[in-house]
Amino acid sequence: MGAVTNVVYLIASVLFILGLKKLGSPKTARQGNVYSMLGMLLAIVITLLDREIIDFTYIIAGLLVGSVIGAIAAKKVEMTQMPQMVALFNGFGGIASTFVAYAEFVNTKHLVGGTDVVVSLVLSLLIGTVTFTGSMIAFLKLQGWMPGRPIVFKGQVAFNGLLLAATFVLGWMFGMDTLNGQTFLLVIIAIAAVLGVTSVIPIGGADMPVVISLLNSYSGLAAAATGFVLSNNVLIISGALVGASGIILTQIMCVAMNRSLANVLFAAVGTDSGSGASSGGEQRNVTRYTADDAAMIFENSESVIIVPGYGLAVAQAQHVMNELMQLLEKRGINVRFAIHPVAGRMPGHMNVLLAEANVSYDKLVEMDAINDDFQSTDVALVVGANDVINPAARYKKDSPLYGMPILNVDQAQRVMIIKRSLATGFAGEDNELFYDDNTMMLFGDAKKMLTDIVKILKDE
Amino acid sequence: MNEQILFSIYIFVLAIFVGFEVITKVPPLLHTPLMSGSNAISGITIVGAILSAGLGHSTLGQVLGMLAVISATINVVGGFMVTDRMLEMFKKDKKKEAK
């Protein structure tokens, strides 16, 4: 690798770091993405100029096919489908690492010798392949092509541990005789493929945000491992950046659910589908309110906080929600959105869904910044969210929700909840807020209910 | 352990710290674009893929390289494009800005 190439790789690395830094504010974020793109373009161009390249057929074919597929996917994807899209892209990143590492082995078999190369080669194949098959399972689950509930079998954790140990043993055996070691490497790839599947299938639908974040981190680590194989610093730096990013997001998601990473990965939460059976035979009364009642309350309020959940997006109600906000603001009412960290199907998903519906981003407030404001708010409007507002999380020690940070909607003067039924959320925990005197339950489809309220407010 | 690998480990560890510093400052508002954007960056493996596909040591190596180029390009092109599409949507109320 020439000095010029290395300098350009350094510039690319700096551009990636600056690009990520600019994601620190929505004002500069788009520019930041351009920085990263530029970094990538520079790295690709300088690599193409490498004098050792003798045949461009395969490269150009690959670049063309990949660009077309990537561009079509990026154009077509709906914002609600973002999580599975990211999972899919993650998977491709992972498998690319596997291919590169194996190709490097094929190309330079006679050079593979040192422990360092053997270790990075094995890790690169292992992480890359686990990322690939794991991401594919996550994709299938999120897309609904595979049941979202955890799939478990006896001794799953031990089985996965055994698989992992096997790859290390095989890696060691490969190291003994690298020249004839390709069978070992192929078996490692096969085992890693199984491991990716068996470690993601026991994770339930509600925990998917954690898994995608973790796989995001893996795809970075796979790139870094490949960087070690190739002694290529731009791969190592970029991979480390992405690895760190994924780990931080994983951590944030775990804290937001008050679960440890180990609990998410191994506990298979949601196995017994708790369909509201927790309340037993006890029948509690709920008063049903109508769109007219809701409109009247809004008329007489000064401040409203909206709590959106994934149900809002499922009902395709984001746009009418924005319309309602505009109407309320026209009447001088202060309207904001309170965004729980796990609202949506991946970190920050709800913000994207609302931004798509033209909600101004300064209206989207994160949980810690808005939680103290509920007590001075007239109406908290909850649409399609349940577990993240359940007060049981504060005190009910035997609840699966216990300890999870929640939005303090119960402190608002009035709580309006738009919901199809009294069914429980993912956690299967009954929500006492539904039966509170301050709560108005508006039963029905979120989109229809909001449209009705908007109609009434417009007519007046 | 030779010098090269030690040097690589240095870089790796320092880059992780840089990553932590930079990424903890990204607000939750932008976590989805952060994920898709960083995802695109992890497609940097494309650099290694291009070399494998072009060096021509063996047909197998080249074919594997091409498969790697395809996968990494999907990751890079798709990731950056979809991130741009999302970031374009994040807008502030124009009325407010006029004030």
pLDDT tens readout for residues A16-56:
999 999 999 999 999 999 999 999 999 999 999 988 888 89
Stated as kind and residue range, the H or E segment containing A305 is: strand A303-308
pLDDT tens readout for residues B77-96:
999 999 999 999 998 876 55
Average per-residue pLDDT for chain A: 91
Is the Cβ pair B15, A246 closer than 8 Å?
A: no
- Give the integer Cα–Cα distance in Å for A299 and A297: 5
- Give the integer Cα–Cα distance in Å for B54 and B74: 19
Nearest chain B residue to A24 by CA distance is B26
Residue B97 has pLDDT above 70, yes or no: no
Q: Which of A387, A410, A430, A452 is catalytic?
A: A387
Confidence band (pLDDT; 50, 70, 90) for A342?
Answer: confident
Residue A272 has pLDDT above 50, yes or no: no
Is the Cβ pair B44, A43 closer than 8 Å?
A: yes
- Give the integer Cα–Cα distance in Å for A140 and A161: 24
The predicted pLDDT at position A112 comes to: 60
Residue A258 has pLDDT above 90, yes or no: no
Work out the percent of chain A whose per-residue pLDDT is above 70: 95
Residue bearing tokens 């993405």: A33
- Of residues A229, A65, A222, A116, the one with CA closest to residue B44: A222
Is the Cβ pair A66, B47 closer than 8 Å?
A: no
The predicted pLDDT at position B94 comes to: 61
Nearest chain A residue to B87 by CA distance is A30
Is the Cβ pair B47, A235 closer than 8 Å?
A: yes
ipTM score: 0.94
Contacts of B55 in chain A (CB under 8 A): 52-54, 107
Chosen from B18, B21, B29, B62 to mutate, greatest number of chain A CBs within 10 A:
B29
pLDDT tens readout for residues A91-107:
999 999 999 999 999 98
The answer to whether residue A372 is catalytic is no
Residue A168 has pLDDT above 60, yes or no: yes
- Give the integer Cα–Cα distance in Å for A163 and A133: 14
Contacts of B10 in chain A (CB under 8 A): none
Q: What is the pTM of this model?
A: 0.91
Residue A280 has pLDDT above 50, yes or no: no
The predicted pLDDT at position A209 comes to: 87
Is the Cβ pair B57, A107 closer than 8 Å?
A: yes
Work out the percent of chain A whose per-residue pLDDT is above 90: 70
Contacts of B22 in chain A (CB under 8 A): 17, 20-21, 24, 241
Buried b (16+ CB within 10 A) or exposed e, A15-26: bbbbbbbbbbeb
Residue A296 has pLDDT above 60, yes or no: yes
Contacts of B4 in chain A (CB under 8 A): 116, 231
Contacts of A73 in chain B (CB under 8 A): 74, 78, 82
Residue A111 has pLDDT above 70, yes or no: no
Is the Cβ pair B36, A226 closer than 8 Å?
A: no
pLDDT tens readout for residues A376-400:
999 999 998 888 999 999 998 888 8
Which residues is A133 bridged to in the sheet? none
Contacts of B2 in chain A (CB under 8 A): 114, 116
pLDDT tens readout for residues A134-155:
999 999 999 989 988 888 888 8
- Give the integer Cα–Cα distance in Å for A39 and A46: 11
Nearest to B86 among A100, A347, A352 (CB): A352
Is the Cβ pair A212, B35 closer than 8 Å?
A: yes
Task: Report helix, strand and coil shares of chain A as percent, to nearest 5.
Answer: 65, 5, 30
- Of residues A97, A193, A64, A235, the one with CA closest to residue B70: A64
Q: Å from A230 to nearest chain B CA?
A: 7
Residue A277 has pLDDT above 50, yes or no: no
Residue B10 contacts A, CB cutoff 8 Å: no
A438, A414 contact by CB (below 8 A)? yes
Nearest to A20 among B38, B55, B77 (CB): B38
